[in-house]
Structure 1
Amino acid sequence: MITILCFCLLVAVQAKAQQSVADVLQQVAANNKTLQAAAQYREARKLEYKTGLNPEDPLIEYDYFNGQPAEAGNQKEFAVTQRIDFPTAYGRKRRVANLQEAQADYQYAQQRQNILLEAQQTALQLIYLNKQATELERRYQDVEALYRRFQKSTRAGEGNMLDENKARVRLLNIRTTLQANKARRRVLEEKLTELNGGQSIALPDTAFAAMTSVPAFEVLDSLIEVSDPRLKMMEQQAKVQEEKVKLAKALALPKLEGGYRYQSILGQTFQGVHAGISIPLWERRNTVNTQQAYSQYAQAQLEAELVSHRQEVRQTYEEYQVLQESLRNYQELMARPENLRLLEKALRLGEISATEYFMELSFYYDTYDKYLELEAEAQQKAAELLRYTL
Structure 2
Amino acid sequence: MRKTMYRYLITSLCLYLLVAVQAKAQQTVAGVLQQVAANNKTLQAAAQYSEARKLEFKTGLNPEDPFVEYVYFNGQPAEAGNQKEFALTQRIDFPTAYGRKRRVASLQEAQADYQYAQQRQNILLQAQQAALQLIYLNKQARELEKRYQDVEALYRRFQKSTRAGEGNVLDENKARIRLLDIRATLQANKARRRVLEEKLKELNGGQPVALSDTAFAAMPAVPAFEVLDSLIEVSDPRLKTLEQQARVQEEKVKVARALALPKLEGGYRYQSILGQTFQGVHAGISIPLWERRNTVSTQQAYSQYAQAQLEAERVSHRQEVKQAYEEYRVLQESLRDYQELMERPENLRLLEKALRLGEISAAEYFMELSFYYDTYDKYLELEAEAQQKVAELLRYTL
TM-score using structure 1 length: 0.95
**Residue 373 (structure 1) aligns with:** 381
**Residue 60 (structure 2) aligns with:** 52
Task: Report if aligned partners of 1:326, 1:374 keep a CA contact under 8 Å in 2.
Answer: yes
> What is the 5 A alignment of 1:113-132?
113-132=121-140
Q: Is residue 2:50 matched to residue 1:39? A: no
Partner SS, residue 54 of structure 1: coil
Opposite residue 384 of structure 2, the aligned amino acid is A
In 2, Cα distance between equivalents of 1:157 and 1:344: 22
**Residue 237 (structure 1) aligns with:** 245
Residue 335 of structure 1 deviates from its aligned partner by: 3.2
**Residue 77 (structure 2) aligns with:** 69
In 2, Cα distance between equivalents of 1:117 and 1:108: 14
What are the superposed Cα offsets for residues 260-287 of structure 1, whole Å, 9 maximum, x if unpaired?
0000000000000000000000100000
**Residue 33 (structure 2) aligns with:** 25
Task: Report if aligned partners of 2:70, 2:85 keep a CA contact under 8 Å in 1.
Answer: yes
Q: Is residue 2:239 matched to residue 1:209? A: no
Partner SS, residue 328 of structure 1: helix
What are the superposed Cα offsets for residues 145-193 of structure 1, whole Å, 9 maximum, x if unpaired?
0001001111111111000000000000000000000000000000000
Residue 340 of structure 1 deviates from its aligned partner by: 1.1
In 2, Cα distance between equivalents of 1:277 and 1:19: 69
Q: Is residue 2:194 matched to residue 1:197? A: no
Task: Report if aligned partners of 1:73, 1:266 keep a CA contact under 8 Å in 2.
Answer: yes
Opposite residue 359 of structure 1, the aligned amino acid is M
Moved over 4 A (4+): 16-19
**Residue 15 (structure 2) aligns with:** none
In 1, Cα distance between equivalents of 2:119 and 2:313: 18
In 1, Cα distance between equivalents of 2:371 and 2:27: 35
**Residue 356 (structure 2) aligns with:** 348
Q: Is residue 2:345 matched to residue 1:337? A: yes
**Residue 301 (structure 2) aligns with:** 293
Q: Is residue 2:163 matched to residue 1:152? A: no
**Residue 259 (structure 2) aligns with:** 251
Task: Report if aligned partners of 1:17, 1:208 keep a CA contact under 8 Å in 2.
Answer: no
Task: Report if aligned partners of 2:89, 2:282 keep a CA contact under 8 Å in 1.
Answer: yes
**Residue 3 (structure 2) aligns with:** none
In 1, Cα distance between equivalents of 2:343 and 2:53: 58
Residue 334 of structure 1 deviates from its aligned partner by: 0.5
Opposite residue 380 of structure 2, the aligned amino acid is L
Residue 17 of structure 1 deviates from its aligned partner by: 12
Structure-2 change in CA distance of 1:199 and 1:193 (3 Å): same
What are the superposed Cα offsets for residues 13-65 of structure 1, whole Å, 9 maximum, x if unpaired?
xxx99970000000000000000000000000000000000000000000000
Q: Is residue 2:191 matched to residue 1:183? A: yes
What are the superposed Cα offsets for residues 327-355 of structure 1, whole Å, 9 maximum, x if unpaired?
00111111353111100000000100000
Number of positions where the alignment pairs a residue of Structure 1 with one of Structure 2? 375
Segment of structure 1 superposing worse, 330-339 or 255-264: 330-339
**Residue 91 (structure 1) aligns with:** 99
In 2, Cα distance between equivalents of 1:293 and 1:51: 25
Task: Report if aligned partners of 2:270, 2:277 keep a CA contact under 8 Å in 1.
Answer: yes
Opposite residue 356 of structure 2, the aligned amino acid is R
Opposite residue 114 of structure 1, the aligned amino acid is N
In 2, Cα distance between equivalents of 1:236 and 1:17: 42
In 1, Cα distance between equivalents of 2:338 and 2:344: 11
Opposite residue 144 of structure 1, the aligned amino acid is E
What are the superposed Cα offsets for residues 213-235 of structure 1, whole Å, 9 maximum, x if unpaired?
00000000000000000000000
**Residue 277 (structure 1) aligns with:** 285
Task: Report if aligned partners of 1:67, 1:75 keep a CA contact under 8 Å in 2.
Answer: yes
Q: Is residue 2:147 matched to residue 1:139? A: yes
What are the superposed Cα offsets for residues 251-308 of structure 1, whole Å, 9 maximum, x if unpaired?
0000000000000000000000000000000100000000000000000000000000
Opposite residue 134 of structure 2, the aligned amino acid is L
**Residue 224 (structure 1) aligns with:** 232
Question: How large is the RMSD of aligned CA atoms in angstroms?
Answer: 1.2
Structure 1 gap ranges (5+) = 1-15
Partner SS, residue 272 of structure 1: strand
Structure 2 gap ranges (5+) = 1-23
Partner SS, residue 62 of structure 1: strand
Opposite residue 74 of structure 1, the aligned amino acid is N
In 2, Cα distance between equivalents of 1:276 and 1:18: 74
Structure-2 change in CA distance of 1:311 and 1:18 (3 Å): farther
In 1, Cα distance between equivalents of 2:200 and 2:116: 21
TM-score using structure 2 length: 0.93
Task: Report if aligned partners of 1:17, 1:205 keep a CA contact under 8 Å in 2.
Answer: no
**Residue 3 (structure 1) aligns with:** none
Task: Report if aligned partners of 1:254, 1:280 keep a CA contact under 8 Å in 2.
Answer: yes
**Residue 318 (structure 2) aligns with:** 310
